[in-house]
Structure 1
Amino acid sequence: MIGMPASGKTTYLASLVHMLTMNKTKTALHLDNADLPTGIEKIQQAIDNFTCFQPVGRTIETAEDWLEIRLYNNYEQSIKLHIPDLSGEIFRDLVKQRQIKKDFADSIQLADMFLFFINCDTISEERRISLKEESALQMIAKGYSKEIIQESKAYSIEGTLEKQAQITQSDLVELLQCVMFLAKKRSRINFVVSAWDSVEKRLSPSDRTPVKCLEKILPLFSQFLQTNYDKIDGKIWGVSAQGFDFTNEDELKRWERDDIGSRVRVITPDNKEIRDLSCLLLLN
């Protein structure tokens, strides 16, 4: 799982774990009761908040710890969902501060597939990609990449902390470039447009598909995907993991009597709507 801070990773994970443990929704993958997720305590509060219609909230920084969930298909073949940092600090630092930890770099090279989370509501407006600053990818690829990757040495860039905290389309492109570089192979990536219930309100009815969403709201990022199809085996999904804004009192009254799983919406790459959050993790 990859994504900048506030990109929807924690909400997706809390909703996924709840869906699989409650077992009320038919899913392509399932949990083994004897094989509990490693590090589940890190998101227990998020799961509790989710089930009580409370905002999941920002995840505390977990850069030193990994969260792993092993799931099984109907043939009892397993896959491992590997989450290095739910808060997104690792990914932000990779782009903003030009640093990355060696174990994270190694995990990218070993991964069979990535979930790349995007929250369109948190991306700052940007009309062009700046070519003046040296990119994170260029710095990693240069001679001192050994220091950056193996020693996690920080190389600061100019700009205020406020500027560094903002996420732009350029940042998403740089993050994706770094993943591609570190993977050293054609990358299978499921791009997850999170908070779909909010995002679709910004689109005309004819544009309410995951692909057209990126074309309209994040055109620079969308163009990068289209021009790198030979390096990225990518699919774009829309996901509403919690279904509505928990701070909206009218929506809360409407949904509070319903099963949580009924609020989940997954828009597939071919624009079909399903409820199964585990489908994004299938390798075929």
Structure 2
Amino acid sequence: MTRRSVILMGGPDSGKTNFVGRLWVALDARTGAIHAAVQPDDIGFVLDTADHLFEGHFAPRTEHADRRDFEVTVVPAAGGDETKILIPDIRGELWRDAVVNSEISADWMEELKLADGALLFVRVNSELNVSPLDWVTSQRLLQLVGADQDRDKLPTQVMLIELIRFLELTLADRPDGGKPRLSVVVAAWDLVDAETRAAGPEAFIAKEYPMLGGRLRDTSRLDVQVFGLSVVGGDLTVDEDYRRAFLDAGLDGHGWVYAYDGANDRWKCEPDVTLPVAWVVGV
């Protein structure tokens, strides 16, 4: 059986944990591009996260555990070999600290070297997003290593750019000789207006995080695909009407991904929330 590792990366409050909970529900329901082949042995935190979603709440941010692993054996919906996927869910604060301190632990570095690819998260309207700055100011902040008063001032896009650099330096080429794959996931995509949604998450990144957008276009080491994500299809925290309708209908059938349809040159809403992971592992 092939073992593939998919790393989840992103800052605090970027949507990683809620995605893992919703991903398991989709894998277990066997409705997406990849299915769960067997019941995993230890998915307590994933089930806890899914329970929050079933009850109409987003899971709280990870506060205690530095790392929690979600390991599951999947099989393509169209048929094929089973693949064991390990998804380490690492606390966003630790990714941020790795950038600020310009170092990453040996354990994480080894996991990156073994990974087939990664999912990089940024969330729309997160209160913890730090507004973009100009290149000069951002570069100066990166040089202020270890200054506690500057840690929380690191612009979100600068942190994400540095995480991409980690990936470029550590991810190995795929077994077929192709580039390692990176899914950039814009979480809470349901919060954007209709015009922004139609333009797609790639245009959103280019507008809101121009340095990040340029870096994604400029990388020659990674094969990049951008997705918009809504884990439950709407806003459970503000839209009370939607929350009531969601609780009446249940989690099944809720949640979607905005993916680029190259054949028709447009962004398309897909009900399959497994797509960002399926694409990374080549399914």
Q: Normalising to structure 2: TM-score of the pair?
A: 0.81
The unaligned stretches of length 5 or more in structure 1 are 137-155
Q: 1:57 to 1:167 in 2, by over 3 A?
A: farther
The structure with the largest strand share of the pair is: 2
- SS of aligned partner of 1:132: helix
Which whole-Å CA distance do the structure 2 matches of 1:181 and 1:205 have between them?
Answer: 33
| Cross-structure match for 1:174 | 162
Q: In the alignment, residue 169 of structure 2 is paired with which amino acid?
A: F
Q: Per-residue displacement from partner, 1:14-71 (whole Å, max 9, x unpaired)?
A: 1111223244xx21111123x41x5411233211111111221112333254332221
Q: In the alignment, residue 220 of structure 1 is paired with which amino acid?
A: M
1:127 is aligned, of 122, 130, 133, to 133
| Cross-structure match for 1:274 | 270
Q: In the alignment, residue 46 of structure 1 is paired with which amino acid?
A: T
The unaligned stretches of length 5 or more in structure 2 are 1-7, 174-178, 262-266
Q: CA deviation at 1:166?
A: 5.8
Which whole-Å CA distance do the structure 2 matches of 1:259 and 1:45 have between them?
Answer: 16
Q: 1:63 to 1:78 in 2, by over 3 A?
A: farther
1:84 is aligned, of 85, 88, 91, to 88
2:14 is aligned, of 4, 7, 14, to 7
Root mean square deviation of aligned Cα: 2.5
**Aligned pair 1:242/2:232, yes or no?**
yes
Which whole-Å CA distance do the structure 2 matches of 1:69 and 1:3 have between them?
Answer: 21
User: Would the aligned equivalents of 2:16 and 2:89 in 1 still touch at CA under 8 Å?
Assistant: no
Between 1:169-178 and 1:89-98, the stretch displaced more is 89-98
Q: In the alignment, residue 168 of structure 2 is paired with which amino acid?
A: M
- SS of aligned partner of 1:95: helix
Q: CA deviation at 1:135?
A: 5.8
| Cross-structure match for 1:195 | 188
Q: Per-residue displacement from partner, 1:214-259 (whole Å, max 9, x unpaired)?
A: 112211110111122x222101011101222222312212332224
Q: CA deviation at 1:108?
A: 1.0
Matches within 5 A, 1:220-235: 220-228=211-219, 230-235=220-225
User: Would the aligned equivalents of 1:210 and 1:237 in 2 still touch at CA under 8 Å?
Assistant: yes
Which whole-Å CA distance do the structure 2 matches of 1:127 and 1:167 have between them?
Answer: 7
User: Would the aligned equivalents of 2:157 and 2:212 in 1 still touch at CA under 8 Å?
Assistant: yes
**Aligned pair 1:257/2:248, yes or no?**
yes
| Cross-structure match for 2:120 | 116
Q: CA deviation at 1:205?
A: 5.0
| Cross-structure match for 2:71 | 68
User: Would the aligned equivalents of 1:62 and 1:85 in 2 still touch at CA under 8 Å?
Assistant: no
**Aligned pair 1:216/2:207, yes or no?**
yes
Which whole-Å CA distance do the structure 1 matches of 2:89 and 2:246 have between them?
Answer: 31
User: Would the aligned equivalents of 2:67 and 2:91 in 1 still touch at CA under 8 Å?
Assistant: no
Q: Per-residue displacement from partner, 1:184-213 (whole Å, max 9, x unpaired)?
A: 554310111111101x22x63575312111
Q: 1:61 to 1:182 in 2, by over 3 A?
A: farther
Q: Normalising to structure 1: TM-score of the pair?
A: 0.81
Q: In the alignment, residue 119 of structure 2 is paired with which amino acid?
A: L
Q: 1:13 to 1:165 in 2, by over 3 A?
A: farther
- SS of aligned partner of 1:246: coil
Q: In the alignment, residue 131 of structure 1 is paired with which amino acid?
A: Q
- SS of aligned partner of 1:121: coil
Which whole-Å CA distance do the structure 2 matches of 1:95 and 1:169 have between them?
Answer: 12
